[in-house]
Amino acid sequence: MADKQISLPAKLINGGIAGLIGVTCVFPIDLAKTRLQNQQNGQRMYTSMSDCLIKTIRSEGYFGMYRGAAVNLTLVTPEKAIKLAANDFFRYHLSKDGKKLTLLREMLAGCGAGTCQVIVTTPMEMLKIQLQDAGRIAAQKKLMAAQAQLSSATSAGAAESVVETRTTATQITRELLRSKGIAGLYKGLGATLLRDVPFSIVYFPLFANLNKLGQKSPDVKAPFYVSFLSGCLAGSTAAVAVNPCDVIKTRLQSLKRGVNEDTYSGILDCTRKIWQKEGPLAFLKGAYCRALVIAPLFGIAQVIYFIGIAEFFLDMLPKRRD
């Protein structure tokens, strides 16, 4: 990130705009990632990202690919704003002596940013995953009912009786608050920290150093395309590196399971069951989807953040006179 100080309101607005644009562009891929990660061996509905998206459109329509998008679009503004602004905050305070940040201090700044963002990320992901995975579970039940109908005459009409009851993020939130309190929205907090803190430790130092390669001098910003490419490369690298943690987080935060799918009591139990029943490659489920989501998301985020759209509009506001 640029070490130049930007006002806090500008940081928050820039981060929010970046998040909104990025999520709008890549949300269908994120939906495919969630569904691929949640399906367990023996209950596979989808073979790849493209297969998942095609089947989703056929069974749920075009807008089925955007199930849960409203949650993301609502909460991604504070999430991305906190992440980007917190990283700048920690970088600034870790470099007060005026010296160039060491790699260790860059990693500490990223660690602080990742820790701060989970305040918003955990409930956002919790609600989003329920809405994204609902279509997979409904499709699986319909398939099982259809297979039962073919194998037994007594189950005639079973396939037609399976009707998906669509729930909203508001209904899920109310139910979680009623049954488990605020802790219900923060289920999987530990797994979210396990994913987001290492992600930020990898992402922010890598981005900062890649972006510096495009700067002609320390006082001049890199061209926007350098910031975009740096964000894409750093984001996809960090995303793949922490994908095993993302698989665990997705499984733990899913409230409903498909037919004959395992349930988990915690991070260690989830890790053990996935390793034993699905093998080590299961921890890479959805890795390429996640890379495709994160690369443009953070590429766009860094471009918007570095252009400083908010600063332009804030400068147009009348200044208060003392």
Confidence (pLDDT) at 268: 96
Confidence (pLDDT) at 311: 52
Under the banding of pLDDT at 50, 70 and 90, the label for residue 1 is: very low
Confidence (pLDDT) at 305: 65
User: Which 3 state secondary structure label does DSSP give 166?
Assistant: coil
Residue 3 clears pLDDT 70, i.e. is over it: no
Percentage of residues of the chain with pLDDT beyond 70: 83
Give the integer Cα–Cα distance in Å for 198 and 242: 7
Residue 121 clears pLDDT 70, i.e. is over it: yes
Residue 159 near residue 145 (C-beta atoms within 8 A)? yes
Nearest to 131 by CA among 41, 71, 199: 71
Structure tokens at 292: 């495709």
Taking only the tens place, the pLDDT of each residue in 72-118 is 888 877 887 788 788 888 988 888 766 788 889 899 999 999 999 99
| Amino acid in the structure at residue 231 | G
Structure tokens at 12: 């928050």
Average pLDDT over residues 161-169: 69
Taking only the tens place, the pLDDT of each residue in 42-71 is 667 899 999 999 999 998 999 989 998 889
Confidence (pLDDT) at 119: 92
Confidence (pLDDT) at 123: 94
Confidence (pLDDT) at 12: 67
Taking only the tens place, the pLDDT of each residue in 11-20 is 667 667 777 7
Residue 170 near residue 289 (C-beta atoms within 8 A)? no
Give the integer Cα–Cα distance in Å for 85 and 186: 22
Cα-Cα-Cα-Cα dihedral sign, residues 179, 180, 186, 188: negative
Range name among 83-87, 263-267, 274-278, 310-314 with the lowest pLDDT average: 310-314
Average pLDDT over residues 159-172: 71
Confidence (pLDDT) at 264: 93
CA atoms within 13 A on the CB side of 211: 29
Average pLDDT over residues 219-234: 86
Percentage of residues of the chain with pLDDT beyond 90: 46
Confidence (pLDDT) at 319: 54
Nearest to 129 by CA among 19, 290, 23, 256: 256
CA atoms within 13 A on the CB side of 171: 7
Range name among 17-31, 193-207, 238-252, 284-298 with the lowest pLDDT average: 17-31
Under the banding of pLDDT at 50, 70 and 90, the label for residue 8 is: low
Give the C-alpha distances (Å, rounded to integers) separating 154 from 103, 157, 196, 238, 259.
67, 9, 50, 52, 20
Under the banding of pLDDT at 50, 70 and 90, the label for residue 271 is: very high
User: What is the C-alpha R_g of the chain?
Assistant: 22
Structure tokens at 167: 């729930």
Average pLDDT over residues 178-188: 93
Residue 223 clears pLDDT 50, i.e. is over it: yes
Average pLDDT score over the chain: 83
Confidence (pLDDT) at 53: 93
Give pTM, 2 decimals: 0.82
Give the C-alpha distances (Å, rounded to integers) separating 27 from 53, 64, 315.
11, 11, 33
* Cβ within 8 Å of residue 88, ≥6 positions away: 1, 6, 11
